[in-house]
Structure 1
Amino acid sequence: MKNKVFAYVCAPFEKDGFPVRETQEYSQSLFRLGYLPICPNVMFAGFLSNTVPSQKQARQDMSLEVLRRCRILVVCGNNITEEMTQEILLAERLGIVTVTFDGLKEVSEYTGSKTPRG
């Protein structure tokens, strides 16, 4: 796993009707494309509840902190939640490359490369 690009998985949280299973599938696909997927929805779901306001806020804050350390944000799915919008805006402000999962997959298939250079 030397020199893998950290790819932040930007997807709706389970409470928003997006099962963790689908988020895991996106992460697995990103891994196969050569990225190191970083998925707060899966990472934090095991110990933080989205129904407890203080825990939901802690999850959102930690997710944004993790995003700051990534090189690419991958928007997964077609429904953009308010929380995802915050992640996308932060990535834009920090100059983090933002792509859709489908677009990233298309580029990878077209170029035959797995991970962007840089």
Structure 2
Amino acid sequence: MKKIFICSAYRGNIDGNIEKAKEYCRWAAVECGVIPIAPHLFFPQFLDDDAETEREIGINMGLSLLKDSSELWYFGDSVTEGMKKEIDTAVRLGIPVRLVPESEILNIQNGGLYL
């Protein structure tokens, strides 16, 4: 199975962005049959994203996971500073990058995204 690095916003509307990232991962796993890798769903469970040092540790651990991914898929109509760092790293490493814009989301029903 391909490992796909899921790149989406975290800061800002954190609760809303977490829910979106979970749905992106669900879609990738269920509809696309890949293993979603979403560090921004895991590392904030034990690292403080508001502490700059811990945020950098989390970003660097995520970039390490990116190196083992088959592709990077990024979601949304805008790219945050953290997302840009991940996308730039993927491009530099020759990892394919795929945009999945919000406009491709066709339906949201019962908490589920259908892209």
TM range (shorter): 0.7 to 0.9
Equivalent of residue 11 in structure 1, options 5, 8, 13: 8
TM-aligned CA deviation for residue 100 of structure 1 = 1.4
More strand by share: 2
Please report the TM-score for the alignment, with normalisation by the length of structure 2.
0.81
Q: Does 1:86 align with 2:85?
A: yes
Q: 1: distance between equivalents of 2:93 and 2:62?
A: 15
TM-aligned CA deviation for residue 16 of structure 1 = 2.6
1:69 counterpart residue number: 68
**1:24 alignment partner, SS class:** helix
2:48 counterpart residue number: 49
> What is the alpha-carbon root mean square deviation over aligned residues?
1.9
Contiguous gaps of at least 5 residues in structure 1: 106-118
Identity across matched positions, percent:
25
Structure 1: which amino acid aligns with 2:4?
A
1:21 counterpart residue number: 19
**1:16 alignment partner, SS class:** coil
1:108 counterpart residue number: none
Structure 2: which amino acid aligns with 1:51?
D
Contiguous gaps of at least 5 residues in structure 2: 105-115
Q: 2: distance between equivalents of 1:11 and 1:88?
A: 10
TM-aligned CA deviation for residue 17 of structure 1 = 2.3
TM-aligned CA deviation for residue 64 of structure 1 = 0.7
Q: 1: distance between equivalents of 2:12 and 2:69?
A: 24
Please report the TM-score for the alignment, with normalisation by the length of structure 1.
0.79
